[in-house]
Structure formats: structure tokens, C-alpha cells
A and B are shown apart, each in its own frame.
Chain A
Amino acid sequence: EAGVAQSPRYKIIEKRQSVAFWCNPISGHATLYWYQQILGQGPKLLIQFQNNGVVDDSQLPKDRFSAERLKGVDSTLKIQPAKLEDSAVYLCASSLVVRAKTQYFGPGTRLTVL
């Protein structure tokens, strides 16, 4: 069974530029999560999708971050414009259902904002 795929793996941009990250969850998983992990911290949930609908985006900085999950499969997370404090690893995870016992994480995208 293929795991959660993410791309790109690394991205370096200058502040005020825009960037997009892509995630392909495990086949059949209805729930998809985007987390932000700043160096030295644990992952923090940004947004949670159930199929193609948003379940929770309470911690998503909506003035600059946006996410979508078209057709309930792949998802894209965008930052526009980026700030220095957005430098982090962005992790995508998926689970079969919301109440699934565990989530499966992708390798992450490391973003550096200069």
C-alpha cells in the first residue's frame, strides 16, 4: 500500500513570494490533514478535510494561507504572501475516517523563507 505522498520535498523562497504544496493521501482515506511543524516544536494542525469539505480550519492564518481538496482526493496548501515565520515543515496526513485510531503522515515539505 502506497503511503501519503507530498511534493516538493524542499522549497526555498523569498518573503512576500507565493508557494504551493501538494499532497496525495492514501487511497480510500476520507480525512486529510495539513500540519505545520516549526523547528523544535510538535506539529500543529492547520486544516482538516473530510472528503472535499473543511471540518476545521480554526488555526489556519486565512489572510495568507489557503487550502483545497478537489474531488476529495489530492489537496493543495498555498501561502501567499510568505513571511519569514512561515519557515517550517508542512506535513500532510490522512486517515480512513475522522474517528480512525491513527493518522498516516507523509514525509513533509521543508519550506525556508528568506
Chain B
Amino acid sequence: KQEVTQIPAALSVPEGENLVLNCSFTDSAIYNLQWFRQDPGKGLTSLLLIQSSQREQTSGRLNASLDKSSGRSTLYIAASQPGDSATYLCASVDGSNYKLTFGKGTLLTVNP
């Protein structure tokens, strides 16, 4: 059974700082790895998706990497802004049934 762990559970940084969120998973037989953002009272918004054959994906100030062999993914946020404050969730997608397994998330607060 896949288990996804996210560290840290919460992170508070000053505006402008670069930061890294970590995600680890126990079963490397994944279809892809996804990072989502969740704002209070709202659903999940997909940020980045990394196929199992890829090493990283970039979108604007966000960069996600994937190392299947070690069961790890990182989300790098450059030059953080107060608008980046949210909960960030990573999810692995099973290679056989395409089900998502989520971590508990990292609550990010960017202080002005």
C-alpha cells in the first residue's frame, strides 16, 4: 500500500525567500507525481505533474523534481510571495489503477 509523507507539516518564511517542500513515497511503481495547492475553503488546484519518466517540471516560479529510485519529490518555490500562502499537497498516481494517494500537506505561510 502506497504511503506518501510530506515534510515539513508547516513552514513560515519571509517574503522573497526561496523554499523547498519535500514529498516521499514508499512504492516507486507510480504513473506520475502531482503537486496541488489548496486554499482555505476551496478545492485543489493542480500545479505541476511529473510523469514517471521525467525528472522535473517547471511552471513560472515553481519547479518540481522527481527521483523515483529514492521515492522522493521536491517542490521548489522561488522568490516567495504572500499570495503563495496555502497548503501544498503532493499525490502519487498508481501505475496500475491510476488512483491518487495524497500526503497530509505542507501549510505554507509567506509573511510580507
Chain A contributes a number of interface residues (CB within 8 A of B) equal to 24
B108 interfacial by beta-carbon distance below 8 Å: no
Decide if A105 touches B104 in the complex (CB within 8 Å): no
B103 contacts A105, C-beta separation under 8 Å: no
Bound CA span A44–B105, Å: 13
Complex: chain A residue closest to B90, CB-CB? A42
Q: DSSP majority for the B interface?
A: strand
Name the interface size band of chain B. Answer: 20 to 34
Of A42, A44, A103, A107, which is within 8 A of B89 by CB? A42
Would you list the 10 A-B pairs with minimal beta carbon distance, nearest first? A42-B102, A105-B43, A105-B44, A107-B43, A102-B46, A106-B43, A42-B104, A43-B102, A107-B42, A42-B103
- Give me 16 A-to-B residue pairs in the complex whose CB atoms sit less than 8 angstroms apart, sorted by A's number: A9-B41, A40-B104, A42-B103, A43-B44, A43-B100, A43-B102, A93-B43, A93-B44, A99-B98, A104-B46, A105-B36, A105-B43, A105-B45, A108-B41, A108-B42, A110-B41
Q: Enumerate chain B interface residues (CB-CB to A < 8 A).
A: 4, 32, 34, 36, 41-46, 49, 89, 91, 97-105
